[in-house]
């Protein structure tokens, strides 16, 4: 069987990765292209052996080969095949192997893309990346081996954690890993440029797309994790400032700052040191997030159990920070910017403020996350930092960032005149102010929600106005219809207008989050035939059913949902009891519309009275959070489209209607 050779594949992969690192740097020092190419071939061999190890582990999982501790720990015979397949990343050993596999796949794509274009840089970049691969392969080979055999094979395994048996949790970890791991590529480009002594703007141009891709996957992973929490944990929310949620959020914040900041370096040759610092921090925070999930120093529904990996990951984070910032210090003269800000009212200034605020938000999240550990180390008492702290600190920060989302991409480079600012922002400002006044008049008094809606309308108005001006200009110049002019405008300026679409996605997410200020919650104990009203809805309890499959027992209730007296839908909140793990889970029932979610949690059933207890939530605008994620997908795809796709070359003379407007992802 292929699984019998799993550990051999790991050893061979580790040997090839070590050779790839040595050959890459020796090829540099000896100026030997043959040795460099040999290192590249060793990297390819590493990818092949890790892929074989992945296939070997999957074979063991799918065949329920309980000779292996990992298989016995995370699967059982009754587990559906789909979840046996995804058990690959359910535990530490498998997830670390999966991490290494994603990294070498990224490396292969990078080699195919750049090995000829960047021959002088590639040995540095490949050597750095293979060093990261060596770290992960060393862990899976010597510390937490997924192919470790049990002293005696067992008849059946422990099964997969019931909380992980959900479609969102199946997709969430791979997508999140694609984000975490992907930041290694821009990190290696930045560090490689410093090591080579040629830290000009070229590396920034090369890594823009390589940064957008992991930034996008990390954001999607965070949203999928929120969807899982919303549907599986049964507490009515999707974000709780959990330490592991924060661990993913922090590199996303600094990665977003980096994407904004490199625009200034590309356009104005400024912030060179700042950009290198940002990408170093982003990658270090990605590894730090892995430390949080595997060290056991925090309490989280997402984290793995206590293990010996925590100190190793923390040591790796320290090594990354010390070595990378040490090289930056030695090469400081190469990256000093001569250009300076000319005006506080300029795009350079707006983006710089934007960056500082993003980093400030990241630090606030970081401090709140690690403070319990620090307090325990210093005072011997673990002081919990909960959502009230994070909300109090971060909500004002994020509202200011929302404001900058509308301002930053539109103000002019160098300096903006009062007349220019008035032309751009008068009507969007009026729209935002009117929104605030109207909502206040309708009785809304929650200030953060009012500001979110007003600022969201302001940002949306700036985006719509920019699209309208550009479409009108194309329509006049080329005789196109308005809709076709808007489409061609987007395709001709993909980085600019794709960035606007991403900004609109963030507005939708802000709207959805602001809706949580108006949640309604009730508890109900209903006998068969009884009903309860909440808002415009009425829900009628019709009874319950029980059943069992090989994996679990289930209790399902039947509810009839009505709105204004008319039947809307039959919904079925459930509770499951997983037999092997002897663990219950809650399966919520949700009826979603664009304006609100009707969300029902089954608390329990009294067998004597046949009454059922429920928690019922009416949650306005939640759908906009998930819709914002879909819009973000669209905007990111447009940003990543090749530059040659777009309008015909004869149309290149079209000038933008707003002078030098550039999106945040340009």
pLDDT digits (tens, 9 = 90+) for 320-330: 999 999 999 99
Residue 442 predicted with pLDDT over 80: yes
Q: Given the structure tokens 């990346």, which residue do they identify?
A: 129
pLDDT tens profile 344-359: 777 788 888 989 999 9
The ranges assigned to domains in the chain are: 1-160, 522-623
Residue 151, classed as helix, strand or coil, is coil
Cα(642)–Cα(294) distance, rounded to whole angstroms?
39
* Tokens at 434, concatenated: 């009117």
Residue 563, token pair as written in the block:
């709105």
- Cβ count near 546 (within 10 Å): 10
Q: Report which secondary-structure segment, H or E, holds 154.
A: none
- Read off the pLDDT of each residue in 137-166 and give the average, rounded to a whole number: 92
CA distance 436 to 504: 19
Which tops the pLDDT comparison, 565 or 131? 131
Residues 6+ apart with CB under 8 A from 530: 540, 541
Q: Is the pLDDT of residue 651 over 50?
A: no
SS (H, E, C) 409-461: CCCCCCCCCHHHHHHHHHHHHHHHHHHHHHHHHCCCCCHHHHHHHHHHHHHHH
Residue bearing the bigger pLDDT, 383 or 356: 356
* Dist. CA 182–CA 224, nearest whole Å: 18
Distance CA 556, CA 216 (A): 37
The Cβ of residue 545 has, within 10 Å, a number of other Cβ atoms equal to 11
Q: In what order do the strands lie in the sheet with 611-620?
A: 520-526, 611-620, 596-606, 589-592
Q: Which of 62-66, 169-173, 371-375 has the lowest mean pLDDT?
A: 371-375
DSSP string, 281-348: HHHHHHHHHHHHHHH-SS--SSS--S-THHHHHHHHHHHHHHHHHHHHHHTGGGS--------SSSHH
Residue 280 structure tokens: 């170093």
Residues with Cβ within 8 Å of residue 126, at least 6 apart in sequence: 20, 24, 39, 40, 43, 107, 111
Task: Classify 552 in phi/psi space as left (phi over 0), alpha (psi -120 to 50) or beta.
Answer: beta
Query: What is the per-residue pLDDT for 522?
Result: 95
pTM for the structure as a whole: 0.91
- The per-residue pLDDT of the chain, averaged, comes to 89
Q: What is the largest CA-CA distance in the chain?
A: 84
Q: For residue 656, what are its two tokens?
A: 């933008």
């Amino acid at each position: 069987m292929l699984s019998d050779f799993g550990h051999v594949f790991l050893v061979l992969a580790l040997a090839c990765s070590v050779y790839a690192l040595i050959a890459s740097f020796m090829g540099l020092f000896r100026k030997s292209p043959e040795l460099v190419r040999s290192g590249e071939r060793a990297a390819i061999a590493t990818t092949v052996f890790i892929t074989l190890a992945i296939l070997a582990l999957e074979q063991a999982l799918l065949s329920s080969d309980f000779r292996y501790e990992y298989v016995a720990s995370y699967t059982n015979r009754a587990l559906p095949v789909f979840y046996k397949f995804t058990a690959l990343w359910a535990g530490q050993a498998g997830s670390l192997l999966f991490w290494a596999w994603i990294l070498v796949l990224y490396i292969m794509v990078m080699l195919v893309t750049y090995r000829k274009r960047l021959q002088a840089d590639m040995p540095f970049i490949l050597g750095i990346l293979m060093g990261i691969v060596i770290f992960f392969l060393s862990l899976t080979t010597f510390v937490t081996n997924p192919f470790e055999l049990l002293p005696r094979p067992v008849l059946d395994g422990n099964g997969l954690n019931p909380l992980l048996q959900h479609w969102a949790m199946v997709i969430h970890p791979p997508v999140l890993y694609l984000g975490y791991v992907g930041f290694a590529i821009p990190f290696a480009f930045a560090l490689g440029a410093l090591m080579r002594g040629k830290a000009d703007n070229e590396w920034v141009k090369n890594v823009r797309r390589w940064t957008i891709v992991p930034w996008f996957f990390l954001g999607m992973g965070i949203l999928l994790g929120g969807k899982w929490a919303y549907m599986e944990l049964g507490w009515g929310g999707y974000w709780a400032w959990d330490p592991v949620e924060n661990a993913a959020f922090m590199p996303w914040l600094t990665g977003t700052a980096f994407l904004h900041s490199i625009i200034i370096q590309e356009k104005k040759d400024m912030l060179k040191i700042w950009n290198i610092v940002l990408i170093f921090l982003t990658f270090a925070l990605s590894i730090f997030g892995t430390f949080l999930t595997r060290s056991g120093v925090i309490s989280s529904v997402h984290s793995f159990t206590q293990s010996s990996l925590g100190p190793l990951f923390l040591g790796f984070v320290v090594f990354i920070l010390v070595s990378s910032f040490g090289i930056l210090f030695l090469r400081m003269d190469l990256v000093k910017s001569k250009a300076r800000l000319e005006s506080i009212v300029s795009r350079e200034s707006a983006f710089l403020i934007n960056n500082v605020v993003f980093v400030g938000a990241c630090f606030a999240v970081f401090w709140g996350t690690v403070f319990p550990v620090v307090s325990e180390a210093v005072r011997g008492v673990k002081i919990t930092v909960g959502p009230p702290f994070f909300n109090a600190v971060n909500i004002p920060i994020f509202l200011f960032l929302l404001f900058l989302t509308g301002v930053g991409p539109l103000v002019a480079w160098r300096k903006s005149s009062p007349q220019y600012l008035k032309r751009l922002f008068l009507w969007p400002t009026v729209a935002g102010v009117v929104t605030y006044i109207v909502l206040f008049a309708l009785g809304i008094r929650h200030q953060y929600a009012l500001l979110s809606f007003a600022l969201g309308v302001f940002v949306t108005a700036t985006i719509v106005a920019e699209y309208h001006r550009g479409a009108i200009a194309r329509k006049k110049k080329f005789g196109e219809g308005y809709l076709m002019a808007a489409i061609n405008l987007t395709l001709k300026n993909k980085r600019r207008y794709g960035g606007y679409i991403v900004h609109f996605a963030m507005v939708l997410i802000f709207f959805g989050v602001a809706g949580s200020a108006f949640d309604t919650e009730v508890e109900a104990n209903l006998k068969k035939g009884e009903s309860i009203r909440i808002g415009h809805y009425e829900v009628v309890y019709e009874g319950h059913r029980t059943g069992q499959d090989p994996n679990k027992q289930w209790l399902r209730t039947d509810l009839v949902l009505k709105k204004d007296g008319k039947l809307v839908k039959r919904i079925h909140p459930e509770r499951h009891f997983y037999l092997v793990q002897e663990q219950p889970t809650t399966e919520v029932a949700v009826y979603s519309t664009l304006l609100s979610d009707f969300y029902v949690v089954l608390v329990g059933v009294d067998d004597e009275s046949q009454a059922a207890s429920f928690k019922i939530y009416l949650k306005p605008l939640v759908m906009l959070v998930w819709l914002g994620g879909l819009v973000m997908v669209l905007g990111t795809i447009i940003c990543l489209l090749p530059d040659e796709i777009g309008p015909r070359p004869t149309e290149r003379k079209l000038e933008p209607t707003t002078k030098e407007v550039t999106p945040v992802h340009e």
